[in-house]
Amino acid sequence: MPAIEVDRQMLPMFQSPNQGARFYNPELPETEPFVPGHRTCAGCGPSIQYRMTSKASGDNTILIGPTGCMYVANSSYLCTPYNVPWAHTQIGSAGSFTAGVAAAYEAMIRKGKWKGAFPNIICEAGDGAAADIGLGPISGALYRNHDCLIICYDNEQYANTGIQASSRTPYGGMTTFSPPGPMVPEAKSLFPKDLARMMAAGHPHCYVATASVGYPIDLMNKVRRGLNHKGAAYLMIYTPCQKGFVYETPRSIDLGRLVVECGLYPIWEWDPARRAYDYTFRPQSMRPVSEYLKLQGRFGHLHAEHIANLQRFANEQWTMMGVELPEALLRATNAENLANMESAEAAAAVAQTV
């Protein structure tokens, strides 16, 4: 019996009614593979991302959910909000389980055991699953180039277990595993693992990109580009967590833009065909990191010197993207030009009462 050729879908890009296809498009698909009624928090960044991603992907989709808040909060009490097939897998199995699904469809279609276009296979891994415990298996899936899209919904912490530091938690971020105290006034003292760049550098044949819920059309187009790419794709998406970041619920999307405008979350694409980064994405404005930090309780303990460290980090990101730094941002790397967080004293007291 001759092998049957695998039919792969090509999803069209969303057009750009304004802002370089970043903000708004009235003609989104009607389909809702991720329906309301789940148990995620108000303003939950990861679930906003989940809805955009699955809308972009459509109904011929299989979702894989390693353990994380998008598993626990979405699938409580034997109910799930998925209109497409979905499977839970272990927190360290994001890449491997997904690879299994992709391999199964390759074989079943080729051998005539399943008929239809190759499904969009999407894994939704948190940053704990993607950057820490499941890093190896995701690297394995990318390396072997299974036709799938692995998303890291990056809320910069283990949120589901009550806010613990991951290797994506930013410098200065307070979590229950990185509290501030007299010996560690900055709380988290390590800078985050540059996960997306690691994936691009190590697996240059893959489509790799970063995105943020602040730019929905850009995000959805990257989902489609990742799915259209024949082989493995990796997408890292900034998804604020109200519970862990401690901010006013309606500001999720604002944070999604501010984090980019402050240079803390560079938005780029890795083009596997050209083997090159595309840094053409530019936010509307550039701002000092303090504008992003001051909206979040997790940074409320920071002193001027810590804010200066974060500004230096942001400036390095801008430089990496080839952006010339304005004088104001250079000045903001000097602690003498900055003030402690207004809440710093109070925050220290709170930390001691835990």
Partner 1 sequence: MATATASKRKVRINGCVSAAQAAKYADVDVITAYPIRPYTATMMALAQMVANGELDAEYIVADSEHSQLSIAHGAASSGARTFTGSSGVGVQFAYELYSPISGSRMPVQMMIADRTLDPPGDFGSEHTDALSTRDMGWLMGWSCDAQEAFDNHLLAFRIGEDPRVLLPQMVCQDGFFVSHITSDVELPDTSQVKEFLPPYKHPYPLDPRHPVSHGPQIMPEQGPPLQLERARAMEGSVPVIDQAHDEFARIFGRRYDAWLEEFMTEGADVVFFMQGGHAVTARYAIRHMRARGAKVGLVRLKTIRPYPTDRVMESLSKFKAVGVIETNMGLGSVSSGGSLYAEACAALYESPERPLVLSFMAGMGGEAIVLKEFYWMTNKMLEAQKRGKIEKRTHWVGFEE
Q: Report the C-alpha gap between 163 and 158 in whole angstroms.
A: 5
Helices of type H across the chain: 45-57, 69-72, 94-110, 127, 135-144, 195-202, 216-228, 252-261, 290-293, 304-320, 327-331, 344-353
Q: What share of the chain is helix, strand, coil (3-state, %, to 5)?
A: 40, 15, 45
Where along the sequence are the contacts to partner 1 (CB under 8 A)? Answer: 1-3, 59-62, 64, 71-72, 75-80, 82-90, 92-93, 95-101, 103-108, 110-111, 113-114, 116, 119, 136-137, 139-140, 143-144
* Closer CB to partner 1, 19 or 76, in the complex: 76
- Kindly state the smallest distance separating residue 327's Cβ from partner 1, in Å: 48
- Kindly state the smallest distance separating residue 88's Cβ from partner 1, in Å: 3
* Closer CB to partner 1, 33 or 266, in the complex: 33
Query: How many residues comprise the chain?
Result: 354
Using alpha carbons only, give the angle 347, 348, 350 rounded to the nearest 5 degrees.
65
Q: What are phi and psi of 213, to 5 degrees?
A: -65, -15
- Kindly state the smallest distance separating residue 151's Cβ from partner 1, in Å: 16
CA 17 to chain centroid: 25
- Kindly state the smallest distance separating residue 155's Cβ from partner 1, in Å: 18
- Kindly state the smallest distance separating residue 193's Cβ from partner 1, in Å: 18
**Which residues are bridge partners to 8 per DSSP?**
118
* Closer CB to partner 1, 102 or 314, in the complex: 102
* Closer CB to partner 1, 57 or 315, in the complex: 57
Q: Report the C-alpha gap between 48 and 42 in whole angstroms.
A: 10
Q: Report CA torsion sign: 294, 247, 297, 254.
A: negative
- Kindly state the smallest distance separating residue 68's Cβ from partner 1, in Å: 11
Helix axes 216-228, 45-57, angle to 10 degrees: 50
* Closer CB to partner 1, 85 or 181, in the complex: 85
Number of CB atoms found within 10 A of residue 294's CB: 16
* Closer CB to partner 1, 122 or 289, in the complex: 122
- Kindly state the smallest distance separating residue 129's Cβ from partner 1, in Å: 12
- Kindly state the smallest distance separating residue 43's Cβ from partner 1, in Å: 21
* Closer CB to partner 1, 87 or 286, in the complex: 87
* Closer CB to partner 1, 111 or 230, in the complex: 111
Q: What are the tokens at 168?
A: 């994506």
In the chain, count H helices and then E strands. 12, 8
